Amino acid sequence: MLKNLEALIDAHGEISIGRIGSIPCAVTASDDDQRYAMLLRRRSESLLQLLERLDTTLAWAWEHEEMVDEINAPREAPERSERDRAPEPMRRRVKRRPSTRRR
């Protein structure tokens, strides 16, 4: 469980969880060179579910060499029925999965 987050941390990467400006809860995954994922915590999403989603997103980002960014994604005011859905994330190019070799 959470094998991609473990690989990131083993390769000297980091995850951050908490408030970002006016956003009540978000999570980021990055290393010294770049950020791989920035996710917003969804309504009724547990912290464990958020970390599992980050783990899955991190695998996707490495495979596709793109960053997933839900925080800075362009957003318009949502319709009332759409408020619980996450915004379409922005994507940027990133490098492949980091080596787990110790530096």
Q: Per the confidence metrics, is the pTM higher than 0.75?
A: no
Q: Quick: pLDDT tens for 51-69.
A: 999 999 999 999 999 999 9
CA distance 44 to 75: 21
Distances (CA, A) of 68 to 48, 79, 80, 81, 101: 19, 23, 25, 24, 25
CA distance 65 to 56: 14
Residue 15 pLDDT more than 80? Answer: yes
Distances (CA, A) of 86 to 3, 70, 97, 102: 24, 8, 25, 36
